[in-house]
Amino acid sequence: MQNKKDAQKLHDLRHSAAHLLAQALCELYPGTLLTLGPVTDDGFFYDFLPPQGTISEADLPAIEEKMKEISARNLPIVQKEISKEEARELYKDNPFKLELIDGIEEDTVGLSCQGDFCDLCRGGHTTSTGDIKNFKLLYVAGSYWRADKDKQALQRVYGTAFETKKELDTYLQRREDALKYDHRRIGKELDLFSFQPEGVGFPFFHPKGKQIFNLLVEYVRRILTQNGWQEIATPIMLSEKLWHQSGHYEHYRDNMYFSDVDDKRYAIKPMNCPGGCLIYKNRPRSYRELPLRMSEIGLVHRHELSGVLHGLLRVRAFTQDDGHIYCTPEQIESEVLREIQTITKAMRDLGFENVSIALSTKPDNAMGDNALWQQATDALASSLKKAGLEYTVQEGEGAFYGPKIEFMIEDSMGRVWQCGTIQVDFFMPENFDLEYVTNEGTTARPVMIHRAMFGSFERFLGILLEHYKGRLPFWLAPVQARVLTITDEQRPYAQKLFDTLKQHNIRIELDESSDQISTQIKAAQLQQIPWMLVVGKKEVANNTITLRHRDGKQEFGLTVDQLLERAQELTPTEMLPIR
């Protein structure tokens, strides 16, 4: 993680790169109307209206050249304050800037100038255009003034900039990889899933994709069982009334789908918790049952604008590895500790070594008792310390209903994904009037802890496919092994090998073509099958197998028992015995 000073420096650099882009546009296309050009997580963009026609990706090299030229001029970047009057005069031909000036409350307006180019700006820049050396324009997109599709259509150019060439090159390589290993592309190549116009944003899982999905679900189920969780299932459709009670209707209805049942309004559930609360309330609960851990592999539907849908990473229906712990405030710490350990272990099992953690504390609009907040937040912090884990504190960034822990995983292309969460909730038990009978016979309100490891199986599968670039580890591969024969003579031996491994629940195929072995290998490699079991004359004679890996490495003279042992070693203990 970079420190705050470095972060500010990078921010300033990218901010200046955006101005550099704007200046280049104005010099190349006089009459260009500039609007806004902010810094983003991994670069910057600028929105503008060209004097005529449109800018395309083919124009980016020329714009970059112009930017380099201005950078070479090494123009000092000077920040000043001018009166609104002056600003209005300066931008009298630019209605966007005039609107921005009108929106400024102060009497003066910030202006950043380099050479004869100026832009409205609050400041935060490098000292000179010469400081901006390692930058790259990435792509062109459409946008709207004020992001409102009823307003003027604009053009947007995205770019990025780094302090060093090495950082820029690493970023560009990862970006290229990310495009190359886009999970939608892998999904198609490996025939894992698809999207159809008949269900926009709703994934269709093909056999091999469903196989991986089921393995992830099975993995979660086994870990939950070990940890004393009990699984439940609640309906997909529940009456609108319930969503009023839970508060979702008020805050979330624009993302919900509705239907009618017997002239009553029902919602397709966007969350599993309200249904879970109904099961909790179905009978009186005793303190002896707490902590009560109820999980649900729950399918939820949430509306997203069609423009933001993105393969499995952003869908309109997904399956949560949801779970709710009902417990006393005193039990929070030990419950959270176990979940933290489980989540970090699971992420390692799934191939993510770098997990970062953030603790979000009480926000200004918090509900609930101060002492309870303090107790819960202390419990979260204490369990993180007991687990021996580093974490950052996001002061005041908890939800209004309780503090939370978030887990971020870094993938093989350096991107960070938020997946696991542990969220304390004082609100839902209140809303649903949840109670338990204490050991003194009185009733008390339990605390509720929401927690998920993967968040969404669909999204996690998308992340996994990109992280592994399609080469899933042995235990998650939809097809784990394929038997290949040098000539048809080895067919009976191959068939026997296939049968034996299948009996031991290895997901295996037999190449029944009479193709040359090189063709067979290529076909298996395209499907990213971890084990190619090559069988020739020698293997039959010695009753052995040659194991060829996806990377071309070969091991000779293996026995079936050795293969089975290897399979065991490659499988997390939770998934044993293999079946």
**Which residue numbers are catalytic?**
273, 302, 320, 322, 324, 404, 450
- Residue from 83, 127, 230, 516 touching a second copy (CB under 8 A): that is 230
- Residue from 57, 191, 378, 433 touching a second copy (CB under 8 A): that is 191
Is residue 309 within 8 Å of residue 200, measured between CB atoms? yes
Helices 560-569, 491-503: inter-axial angle, 10-degree rounding: 40
- Residue from 144, 202, 249, 252 touching a second copy (CB under 8 A): that is 202
- Residue from 203, 298, 402, 403 touching a second copy (CB under 8 A): that is 203
DSSP 3-state of 427: helix
Stretch that binds a second copy, among 31-39, 176-184, 262-270, 337-345 (CB under 8 A): 262-270
Asked if 526 is part of the footprint of a second copy (rule: CB under 8 A), the reply reads no
Stretch that binds a second copy, among 41-49, 253-261, 423-431, 493-501 (CB under 8 A): 253-261
How far apart are the C-alpha atoms of 112 and 132, rounded to whole Å?
A: 16
Asked if 433 is part of the footprint of a second copy (rule: CB under 8 A), the reply reads no
CA-CA-CA-CA dihedral for 382, 388, 391, 393, to nearest 10: 20
Asked if 252 is part of the footprint of a second copy (rule: CB under 8 A), the reply reads no
DSSP 375-391: HHHHHHHHHHHHTT---
- Residue from 242, 463, 524, 534 touching a second copy (CB under 8 A): that is 242
CB of 215 to a second copy, least distance (A): 12
Asked if 103 is part of the footprint of a second copy (rule: CB under 8 A), the reply reads no
CB of 557 to a second copy, least distance (A): 29
- Residue from 261, 393, 416, 526 touching a second copy (CB under 8 A): that is 261
Asked if 393 is part of the footprint of a second copy (rule: CB under 8 A), the reply reads no
- Residue from 2, 56, 282, 370 touching a second copy (CB under 8 A): that is 282
Stretch that binds a second copy, among 298-306, 324-332, 527-535, 538-546 (CB under 8 A): 298-306
Asked if 244 is part of the footprint of a second copy (rule: CB under 8 A), the reply reads no
In the chain, the amino acid numbered 284 is P
Contacts of 208 (CB under 8 A, 6+ apart): 190, 191, 192, 478, 479
Asked if 196 is part of the footprint of a second copy (rule: CB under 8 A), the reply reads yes
Asked if 51 is part of the footprint of a second copy (rule: CB under 8 A), the reply reads no
- Residue from 106, 116, 150, 198 touching a second copy (CB under 8 A): that is 198
How far apart are the C-alpha atoms of 394 and 414, rounded to whole Å?
A: 22
How far apart are the C-alpha atoms of 63 and 325, rounded to whole Å?
A: 56
Asked if 234 is part of the footprint of a second copy (rule: CB under 8 A), the reply reads yes
Strand order in the sheet with 264-268: 237-239, 264-268, 257-261
Contacts of 168 (CB under 8 A, 6+ apart): 134, 135, 136, 160, 161, 162
Is residue 287 within 8 Å of residue 437, measured between CB atoms? yes
What does DSSP say about strands 443-444 and 531-535: parallel, antiparallel, or unpaired? Answer: unpaired
Angstrom CA distances, 238 to 19, 244, 257, 317, stand at 52, 11, 11, 16
Nearer to a second copy, 389 or 523 (CB): 523
Asked if 307 is part of the footprint of a second copy (rule: CB under 8 A), the reply reads no
Could you tell me the two tokens for 47?
Answer: 């929105």
**Quick one: 196 exposed, middle or buried, by C-beta within 10 A (0-12, 13-18, 19+)?**
exposed
Each as own residue / partner, the long-range contacts of residues 367-370 (CB below 8 Å, 24 or more positions apart, any chain) are 367/400, 367/401, 367/426, 367/427, 368/401, 368/402, 368/426, 368/427, 368/430, 369/426
**Quick one: 398 exposed, middle or buried, by C-beta within 10 A (0-12, 13-18, 19+)?**
buried
How far apart are the C-alpha atoms of 453 and 398, rounded to whole Å?
A: 18
Is residue 201 within 8 Å of residue 195, measured between CB atoms? yes
* Residues of span 462-521 touching a second copy by CB under 8 A: none
How far apart are the C-alpha atoms of 576 and 397, rounded to whole Å?
A: 40
CB of 443 to a second copy, least distance (A): 20
- Residue from 136, 183, 301, 459 touching a second copy (CB under 8 A): that is 301
Is residue 63 within 8 Å of residue 53, measured between CB atoms? no
Is residue 343 within 8 Å of residue 391, measured between CB atoms? no
- Residue from 78, 90, 278, 387 touching a second copy (CB under 8 A): that is 278
In terms of phi and psi (left: phi > 0; alpha: psi -120 to 50; beta: otherwise), the region of 403 is: beta
CB of 164 to a second copy, least distance (A): 45
Asked if 233 is part of the footprint of a second copy (rule: CB under 8 A), the reply reads yes
CB of 436 to a second copy, least distance (A): 16
Nearer to a second copy, 30 or 441 (CB): 441
Asked if 314 is part of the footprint of a second copy (rule: CB under 8 A), the reply reads no
Asked if 249 is part of the footprint of a second copy (rule: CB under 8 A), the reply reads no
Asked if 153 is part of the footprint of a second copy (rule: CB under 8 A), the reply reads no
Asked if 184 is part of the footprint of a second copy (rule: CB under 8 A), the reply reads no
Contacts with a second copy by CB under 8 A: the residue count is 53
Asked if 200 is part of the footprint of a second copy (rule: CB under 8 A), the reply reads yes
CB of 284 to a second copy, least distance (A): 12
CB of 257 to a second copy, least distance (A): 5
CB of 11 to a second copy, least distance (A): 37
Asked if 324 is part of the footprint of a second copy (rule: CB under 8 A), the reply reads no
Residue 291: cis peptide before it, omega within 30 degrees of 0 = yes
Residues that bind a second copy (CB under 8 A): 191, 194, 196-200, 202-207, 210-211, 213-214, 221-222, 230-239, 241-242, 257-262, 266, 268, 275, 278-279, 282-283, 294, 299, 301, 303, 306, 316-317, 577, 579
